[in-house]
Structure 1
Amino acid sequence: MEQLYSRHRRLLMSLAYQLTGSFSDAEDIVQDVFLKAYDSKPRGLNEAPQAYLCKMVTNRCRDLGRSARKRRESYFGEWLPEPVPTSEDEVFEVIARDELLSYGTMVLLERMTPAERAVFVLREALGFEYADMAGILDKSEANCRKLYSRAKSKLGGPLPEPPAEPAPGEAAWVHDFLAMLRQDKVDEVMSMLAKDVVLISDGGGKANAAVKPVVGRDFVSRFLLGVMRKSSAPGEEMRFELGRVNGGLGLLVFSRDAVDSVVTVQVENGRILRIYMVRNPDKLKLFNKLV
Structure 2
Amino acid sequence: MTEAPSTLGGLRPLMFSIAYRMLGSVTEAEDVVQDAYVRLQERALAGDVIERPEAFATTVTTRLAIDVLRSARRHREVSAGTWLPEPLPDADDDPAHRVERDETLSFAFLAVLERLGPVERAVFLLREVFDLDYAAVADVVEREEAACRQIMHRARARIADGRPRFEADAARDAALVDSFFAALEHGDVDALADLLADDVVFYADGGGRAPAIRHPIHGALAVARFVAGLVRRGVDMSVHLERTTMNGEPALRVADRGGATLSVLMLHVEGGRIAVLGNQLDPAKLGHLGPVGDLAALVARGGDWGS
Gaps of 5+ in 1: none
Query: Paired residue for 1:239?
Result: 241
Q: After the TM superposition, which residues 24-35 of structure 1 pair with which residues of structure 2 at under 5 Å, given as runs? A: 24-35=27-38
Letter in 1 for 2:148: C
For 1:32-43, what aligned pairs fall within 5 Å after superposition? 32-39=35-42
State the alpha-carbon separation in 2 of the partners of residues 144 and 205 from structure 1.
36
Q: Which 10-residue stretch deviates more, 90-99 or 220-229?
A: 90-99
- What is the alpha-carbon distance in structure 2 between the residues aligned to residue 201 and residue 78 of structure 1? 6
**Map of 1:52-201 to 2, 5 A cutoff?**
52-87=56-91, 90-98=92-100, 101=104, 102-157=106-161, 159-161=163-165, 167-201=170-204
Per the alignment, residue 221 of structure 1 pairs with: 224
Number of matched residues?
A: 284
Which whole-Å deviations, capped at 9, do the CAs of 1:198-254 have from their partners, x for residues lacking one? 111112233322122112223212211110111222x5142231x221123322223
Q: Give the aligned partner of residue 15 of structure 1.
A: 18
- The percentage of counterpart residues that share the same residue type is 35
Query: 2 CA distance for matches of 1:35 and 1:114?
Result: 23
State the TM-score, normalized to the length of structure 2.
0.82
**RMSD between aligned residues:** 2.6
RCO higher in 1 or 2 (8 Å CA, sep ≥ 6)?
Answer: 1
CA deviations over 1:158-183 (Å, ceiling 9, x no partner): 8435698x812433322211222333
- How many Å apart are 1:39 and its aligned residue? 4.2
Q: Please give the alpha-carbon distance, in whole angstroms, between the structure 1 residues aligned to 2:229 and 2:164.
A: 27
Q: Which amino acid aligns with 2:262?
A: D
Structure 1 residue 284 corresponds to structure 2 residue 286: yes
Contact 2:33 2:61 in 1 (8 A): yes
Partner deviation per Cα, 1:21-62 (whole Å, 9 max, x = no partner) = 111111111212232444466898623332222222222112
Query: How far has the Cα of 1:4 moved from its partner?
Result: 4.6
User: Residues of 2 paired with 1:10 and 1:52: CA distance?
Assistant: 14
Asked if 1:253 corresponds to 2:257, the answer is: no
- Listed as ranges, the gaps of 5+ residues in structure 2 are 292-307
Contact kept in structure 1, 2:83 and 2:111, CA below 8 Å: no
Separation (CA, whole Å) in 2 of partners of 1:74 and 1:45: 44
Deviations 1:68-112 (A, max 9, x none): 01222332322211111112xx15111333265222111111001
3-state SS in 1 of match to 2:228: helix
Structure 2 CA distance for aligned equivalents of residues 40 and 169 of structure 1: 50
